[in-house]
Structure 1
Amino acid sequence: MSLALFKNSAYDGVLDQNPFNFGHFNFPKLNLMVDGHASLWEISRNDLAPKQSGDIDCSVFACQYAKYFGLNKTFDFFKDNIAHKRTEMSKEILSFEISLDKTQIDLLLHNGDLVSETDVIECPFSDHHFVVAKLDIPKSPNIFKKIECRNLSSVNILKINLLIEEIDFQQIRNYDDINEKWIYVKNKITEIIDYVLPLRKITVKNMNQFP
């Protein structure tokens, strides 16, 4: 029962015990109620608890870690990280009455400052409801691909053909080596292409083009 009297100034001050149910503890500021039975919430490894500021672990933690609120641990939990509605409801029909048991929360959502809003959605096929969270994740900047290309329009192709016809290929006879002959032809044609169709750098906004 010492948990009920432990002071945590960062959240609720004195954590008062629920006067209607001595098996639970209330955290008024967080609107949180957790089961106080030690047999249910005993944790043998401290590294299983949520990480503190500077070592944030983006994950979902079971309700048992809420016990650590009463152990003077300062976690990076924000008000909007907490699901405020019940997340589980079970109904048992007895011989003389219907027993209805509610659990206000059985999950703590901890994602640093990424969680901006949480809610609970009823599940039509289970007594466990869906806990949903809205994450504020900044969008990565668009990185457009840049390529080098030439304007191979029909007009430019015609210009290239006309200029190639003006090349004096008789100069090939001045070379004895076949490789030198090829280099001469290649350079002449390349000079014409660079003159008519200079290389241009363009930005491709559609990433499906030119993969």
Structure 2
Amino acid sequence: IKVHSSQELKTDLDENYIGFEINPVVVKASNYEIRRSDLNDVASGACLRVLKISKTELSLLFCPLFLRGNHWALLLFEVKSKLIKYFDWICSIDSCVVTKICSTLGKYAIKLNGKISSETSYPKQQSNGTDCGVFTLPFFIENNDLVNFVIKPTRVCLYRNYKNSNDVKTSETLIDLFLHNSDFVDETNSIECPFSDHNFVIAKLSIIKQSAIRKKIICRDLCFENLKRISSLVDEIEQKELKNFMTIDEKFKRSLQDEDKEIFEYFKSKFKQINDEKLSF
């Protein structure tokens, strides 16, 4: 995110003043630009899409505020905990502005029902103590890093004391392997690996996805006799035997049996026959 300066702009149209811009860019991110007029339109409800967004689709909602014509603050909505955080390096929270923003966004982007708690944070000013831009977004990014969801150690080592060989000690290390800044992660776990001191890290994610759709694949036409033959050969294969095999080699030996090879050779010959016909044509 790139945040541009937002000092009070010159009001006179001075051609020699290169930095003058009537409608300056406030925030640029992901090829989108937010200008001062856009923020004013959001506050008035004049420039929001008709498409309503479900509450479950939002985690954090940032709303930069341009106050009193020369001052910037940041309003952050934590949707899941229903908490409003107000970042302002000079003034306290303006309840009137927050109420107006909530009522406007509730119609279009998110429904904020019930009681909402709020807190105020005061980022550091510049060294000279003057206001010269949007410092609240960089402050939030620097002080709210990605969250490590892994709690159990991810590396466990056993070592012996060189003075006493019978004294075995354990060294545990938690490495930042699973970092995220959203609420997709429900829980994590660290599982021991039999051939390494680094453990496996697994996570349960809450990701909304579309339900599986069964698709019909149109294949080559086969006569009734061939279909019946393939069906009978497949039915004769006892797949449950794989559970009785202990090693990977034993499981793959299943593919060397005669009935499996017969099906493979049958399809191989059919494909070769069709390909040869295409080449001759």
Could you tell me the TM-score, scaled by structure 1's length?
A: 0.31
Based on CA coordinates, which of the two structures has the bigger radius of gyration? 1
* Higher RCO (Cα < 8 Å, 6 or more apart): 1
Could you tell me the TM-score, scaled by structure 2's length?
A: 0.24
